[in-house]
Amino acid sequence: MLDMTPKEIVNRKALRINPAKTCQPIGALYASLGIHNCLPHSHGSQGCCAYHRSHLTRHHKEPIMASTSSFTEGSAVFGGGANLRQALRTIFQVYNPDVVAVHTTCLSETIGDDLPSLIKKAREDGLIPKNKHVIHTNTPSYVGSHITGFSNMTVSMVRYFSEKNGETKENLNIIPGFVEPSDMREIKRIMASMKIPFVMFPDTSDVLDAPQTGRFKMYPRGGTRVEEIQKSGAAQATLALGGFASEAAAQQLEQKCDVAYQVLDLPIGIAATDRFIQALIDFSGKQPPESLMADRGRVVDIMTDMLQYFHGKKVAVFGDPDHIISMTEFLVNLGMKPVHVLTGTPGKLFERRAKSILKESVPEANVKAYSDLFLLHQWIKNEPVDLILGNTYGKYIARAEDIPFVRFGFPILDRIGHTYFPAVGYRGAMRLLEKMLDALLDRQEREAPDEKFELVM
């Protein structure tokens, strides 16, 4: 399908071909699902909402609930205020959520709908019942990426809900970043194992990976409750996991409630997880339990056994910036060479951070933010790799160039079950190691002559 991709690279300032990202509202919708009893609301056309829901549904293999203002031609001319009012009336009468989280789309942003005023007027007119909440964020699809949208909605959670009551608690705030429900569950497991009180928001565990009971439940038991987010303003500190997805909310919380924060890389791989555990030790004064240290020891043991197969292998890795920064470091720790590193999300910080990780081991690596898979394919044509790491869209390059491929990040549309296994923490590192080595050894065995087709590796 991609056989016509040219090898010669031409500088492009505007055109994007197969961008390595999707749009802001998808990230905002996903963050909204991390609030307990919350219904995300797309302030735009039905088509936009249908795309965002279907994209998340295909990744998580779970029904994604969201409502829409259902813009028509008239809304595009006169604004969507009347549509939003009718939507809120229907939502609370029929679906009765505790929170409606409104995000905008290209159309409503272009029109310039004043959401704060519209929401305020709806409450004054009794369209929003007492003890119910409507929050909003602006997510124009022509700016940023789904990571930007996730960040913006998380900032709105702080802006609308966090409170400082004058008393500082011992608990920590954890902003987990744009990660899987299983990753959020693993972070909570680590916190619980160290007996550290915490509030994590958003939290999609037990929302998008809820157990099958045979009964439909509009609002699963998971998600961070509003009262917990309110308590975040009285926490000792905030740990923001991933600068692109989480730092803005931590900054907002510091400005609003004077809660200090620290930004950490997503705890993917052993080094980033070590830094996360050390931060927990520094803030809480508590030591990790033996069970957690045993997990770390197992990762080290697996890495030691696998290094002979990873050493010197060239890798192309692409996806969301917070994921790719940590994964790049992990690959370097394994003795691999990430020669092509790319994200579709804008931000020069990504390039600086990735280059700093690679300066000793792969100083000549190609690193680029706000780019696309067309360029990645051209890079690979000019310097082939042994492995590609990235979301589902990388499969086309992998097939065109006959390269082993490991699915990692968002979205993964053509596999099932990935949302139930974490990539973060020591346990996540074990799974990533297994997946990468399996891909490399599968290729080795597929091409091996009979005399080298070994039973024991």
At residue 83's C-alpha, the angle toward residues 133 and 35, to 5°, is 25
The CATH architecture to which 24-161 belongs is: 3-Layer(aba) Sandwich (3.40)
408, 390 Cβ separation under 8 angstroms: yes
Lowest mean pLDDT among 75-79, 248-252, 261-265, 412-416: 75-79
pTM of the model as a whole: 0.95
Which pLDDT score is estimated for 450? 87
Q: Rounded CA gap, 63 and 258, in Å?
A: 38
pLDDT for 451 equals 85
**Coil, strand or helix at 104:** strand
- The CA dihedral of 413, 373, 246, 51, to the nearest 10 degrees, is -40
Give pLDDT, residue 79: 80
- Percentage of residues of the chain with pLDDT beyond 70: 100
Whether 1 shows a pLDDT value over 70: the answer reads: no
**Domain covering 172-290 in this structure, CATH number:** 3.40.50.1980
Residue 179: name the closest of 383, 23, 30 by CA: 30
Query: How is the chain split among helix, strand and coil, in percent rounded to 5?
Result: 50, 15, 40
Q: What is the pLDDT of residues 368-404, one digit of tens each?
A: 999 999 999 999 999 999 999 999 999 999 999 999 9
pLDDT at 78: 76
pLDDT of 131-143, one tens digit each?
Answer: 999 999 999 989 9
pLDDT of res. 75: 79
> What is the residue-wise DSSP string for 299-346?
HHHHHHHHHHHHTT-EEEEES-HHHHHHHHHHHHHTT-EEEEEE-SS-
As a whole number, mean pLDDT of residues 434-444 equals 96
Kindly state the average pLDDT of the residues 201-225. Answer: 94
431-442 average pLDDT score: 97
State the chain's mean pLDDT as an integer. 95
Q: What's the pLDDT at 126?
A: 95
CATH class, domain 291-451, is: alpha beta
Decide: helix, strand or coil at residue 414. Answer: coil
Give span(s): CATH 3.40.50.1980, the chain. Answer: 24-161, 172-290, 291-451
Give the pLDDT band (50/70/90) at residue 172: very high
**Taking 80 as the threshold, does the pLDDT of residue 3 lie above it?**
no
Q: Alpha-carbon distance 372 to 52, whole Å?
A: 20
* pLDDT at residue 51 is higher than 90: yes
Q: Is the pLDDT assigned to residue 69 strictly greater than 80? A: yes
The answer to whether 330 and 271 have CB atoms below 8 angstroms apart is: yes
Write out pLDDT tens, residues 258-312.
Answer: 999 999 999 999 999 999 999 999 999 999 999 999 999 999 999 999 999 999 9
